[in-house]
Amino acid sequence: MEPEQHMSISPDAASLEAIQNFRGKFPKQIWLLFMSEMWERFCFYGMRGMLTVFMVSRLFPTLVNKDAVANLQYGAIQAFVYAFTFIGGLFADKILGFRKSLYWGGLMMIIGNFIIAASPEKFFYIGICFSIIGTGFFKPNISTMVGFLYKEGDPRRDAGFGLFYSGINIGALLGGILMVWVGKDYSWSLAFALAGIVMIISLCTFVFTQRKLGPIGISPLHPDMPRSKRRGYEMAVYIGSLISLPLILLLVKNTNYTDMFMYIVGPVALLYVFYEMTKYSAAERKKLIAALVFIIFSIFFWAFYEQSGGSLSLFALYNLHDKLLGIPIDPNVVNNSFNSVFIIIFSPIVGIIWLAMSRKKIEPNTLIKFGLGFLFLAGAFYIFYATRFFADADGKTSLNVFTIAYFVITFGELCLSPIGLSIMTKLSPKPMQGLMMGMWFLASAYGQYAAGLLGAGMSVAKENATATEKLIAFTDGYKQLGIYALVLGIVLIAISPIVKKLMQEVH
């Protein structure tokens, strides 16, 4: 019996075979996961978009180097959020199953947001620690369940993840607009409370629709295991999560400890993956090595891309005019939401294009798609750099040009992120899918960590720096990132034949 069948299922639930033998482009269950993920991403991306603005304006407004500190703190928080997705994926694979992991994660996120809402300046770090653990249990497991809706080799999988990615970005769009607007113009407490409310909606959506998922996401523990022993394992995970809160609080507040954590957790996680790989055949190990290639390159992609929550957020705060095509709009709303607008519009279209190319047998392999992602990323950062040529004497530059850069970066993201989610489920044996999805998000943790360091490096250290000085510092940094992204894209395309052999029949 497969691990995903190890639990009683309601008699009217769909079988896995019935779910996977769907007709048309998308399984009906994907819409349920789409809705739950949409509201969770409202919470996550709304929080992400206002973190640096909240920190420089309310958490430590009097610090001389507050921009650099905010970037480092942002990188640390985001790094821990994604690092804990590895842990969440591991416990889902071994003990809880995807569903219980999702319940626990959602509950922790709800608690965390309402703790911050009670007093943002006083309880910010405590609430963030709850949200870090919660996202770790929620995020990798709902993505993995999408993979289980498809049979191995189903060419519709990439399009399904593209649709799912649209759901992510509808939530990101709503959260990006509402939470920044509410926080900056009305009340930070209300903004954090709003994140908690939408997380309740997300969790309720999943609770009331899970029956349609059949056996997907249930406990991996053996069905003959005594109920008391099963409960003991589960309670150990829950209690361990709570016990870890003080340690996470210490690590998040002190970025020197964050450095130490990041130096340790990645190598340890990699060694554990290598250990798990020894349990599989040579063919399966080759696929896992290919998966690790994607994971390693994704670190660099997210290090550049995630400037959107750090340095680009501050760039929008200090250096952009507040008019887009002549219409007044907060530049931070544009920074936090317009990428999502473009994703929502173009993600289904790109997914359908991949399907059409697949039918004609001309679809590029996944590594070529990754390489294209970096080339688009390079183009976007050159446009961010070019905003300096549109600046006025006060150091304020064009929001129109800034938005064009986000339009370009969208296609880079669509070539990498939804494809990355899909390829982790294609290349991983079923018992390792949660773990490898966690590794994918752990790579994002390192990208976030590096993003904070890069953003801090772009910040002007001196007190009372002018907007023009900040403009020059930021755009010099964006030019360098454009060069790095271009080189990495060329390398990825060059090594694609080698990695394609490791992937074997997986496209």
Give the percent of the chain with pLDDT over 90: 14
| pLDDT on residue 217 | 67
Calpha distance 89→414 (Å, rounded): 23
What DSSP letter does each residue of 150-205 carry, written as one string? S-TT-TTHHHHHHHHHHHHHHHHHHHHHHHHHHHHHT-HHHHHHHHHHHHHHHHHH
Nearest to residue 307, comparing CAs of 488, 493, 485, 462? Answer: 485
Higher pLDDT, 120 or 153: 120
Q: Is 326 exposed, middle or buried (0-12, 13-18, 19+ CB in 10 A)?
A: exposed
Distances (CA, A) of 289 to 132, 137, 390: 28, 25, 45
Mean pLDDT of 190-204: 89
On the question of pLDDT at 435 being above 80, the answer is no
> What would the pLDDT profile of 92-137 be if each residue is shown by its tens digit?
878 888 888 888 988 999 999 999 999 888 898 899 999 889 988 8
Q: What rounded mean pLDDT belongs to the chain?
A: 82
φ, ψ (nearest 5 deg) of residue 452: -65, -40
| pLDDT on residue 460 | 67
Higher pLDDT, 74 or 304: 304
Q: What is the pTM of this model?
A: 0.76
The model's confidence at residue 4, banded by pLDDT at 50, 70 and 90, is very low
| pLDDT on residue 146 | 78
> What would the pLDDT profile of 25-76 be if each residue is shown by its tens digit?
778 777 778 888 888 888 887 877 777 888 887 777 766 677 778 878 878 8
CB 461 within 8 Å of CB 68: yes
| pLDDT on residue 6 | 43
Nearest to residue 152, comparing CAs of 16, 272, 349? Answer: 16
The model's confidence at residue 8, banded by pLDDT at 50, 70 and 90, is very low
| All domains of the chain in start order, with CATH | 24-503 (1.20.1250.20)
Type of residue found at 147: G
CB 433 within 8 Å of CB 93: yes
On the question of pLDDT at 1 being above 50, the answer is no
CB 489 within 8 Å of CB 378: yes
> What would the pLDDT profile of 352-402 be if each residue is shown by its tens digit?
787 788 788 787 777 888 889 899 999 999 999 999 999 888 889 999 999
| pLDDT on residue 387 | 92
Higher pLDDT, 107 or 17: 107
The model's confidence at residue 462, banded by pLDDT at 50, 70 and 90, is low
Mean pLDDT of 204-232: 77
> What would the pLDDT profile of 311-325 be if each residue is shown by its tens digit?
888 888 888 988 888
Nearest to residue 156, comparing CAs of 418, 351, 428? Answer: 351
